[in-house]
Structure 1
């Protein structure tokens, strides 16, 4: 069912998963022990209902189809796995080393999106308190 959607819609679905995952992880300050898939799904549902034109354009039949939701669950898991496996870029690593040296901090990070979050925090673009990760 998901495969029958237009390529633009499939790209938009992936983008909405990535965007809402990034927002959710920032809301829990990338503390993996606070991650809850049900909380993320709730955040994603809110995001698609408020911000995703692709969801508004789906028929009610599709929105209520069990197979569609099963395929979406697989797509969510695949997208999150891809995000978490994407290594930080060399530029991000260098920037984080510089920023952490200046601030006297040392944070662990494991993926490109988490590195982006930490850079934004350390540059003062985000107003979250950072917690040391064990």
Structure 2
């Protein structure tokens, strides 16, 4: 069922997962011990029902389909894996290292999205 959706809707679904995942992780300070897949899915559902353009474009019978839910669960896994495996950029690493020297901090980060979170956190501390 997912594969039958237009490419625009599929891109929008992927974007909503990414946005929600990164937002959820920021809300828990990227603390792995606080992570709950159930809480993330709940926040994603809230996001797509209130903010995502794709939700109104998918027929109700598709939204209620078990097959669609299984395909979406796989898509969520794929998107999360992609986010967590994307390396921080050299620019991010340099920026974070410089700010950490100034602030005397030692934040760690394992992926590009987490580096963006840490970079923003450090910028806020500097201001």
Moved beyond 6 Å, runs of 4+: none
What whole-Å deviation, never above 9, does each CA across 1:74-113 have from its counterpart, x for those lacking one? 0000000000000000000000000111110001100000
What whole-Å deviation, never above 9, does each CA across 1:35-76 have from its counterpart, x for those lacking one? 000000000000000001101121110110000000000000
The residue aligned with 2:18 is 18
What CA distance in whole angstroms lies between the structure 1 residues aligned with 2:56 and 2:118?
33
1:30 aligns with 2:27: no
What CA distance in whole angstroms lies between the structure 1 residues aligned with 2:66 and 2:28?
30
What CA distance in whole angstroms lies between the structure 1 residues aligned with 2:3 and 2:60?
17
Assess if the C-alpha contact under 8 Å between 2:9 and 2:57 holds in 1: no
Q: Give the structure with the larger helix fraction.
A: 2
The residue aligned with 2:121 is 121
The residue aligned with 2:57 is 57
Considering only aligned residues, what root-mean-square deviation do their CA atoms show, in Å?
Answer: 0.9
TM-score between the two structures when normalised by the length of structure 2: 0.96
User: 1:45-124, aligned counterparts within 5 Å?
Assistant: 45-124=45-124
Contiguous gaps of at least 5 residues in structure 1? 126-134
The residue aligned with 1:131 is none
What whole-Å deviation, never above 9, does each CA across 1:9-59 have from its counterpart, x for those lacking one? 111011000000011000000001110000000000000000011011211
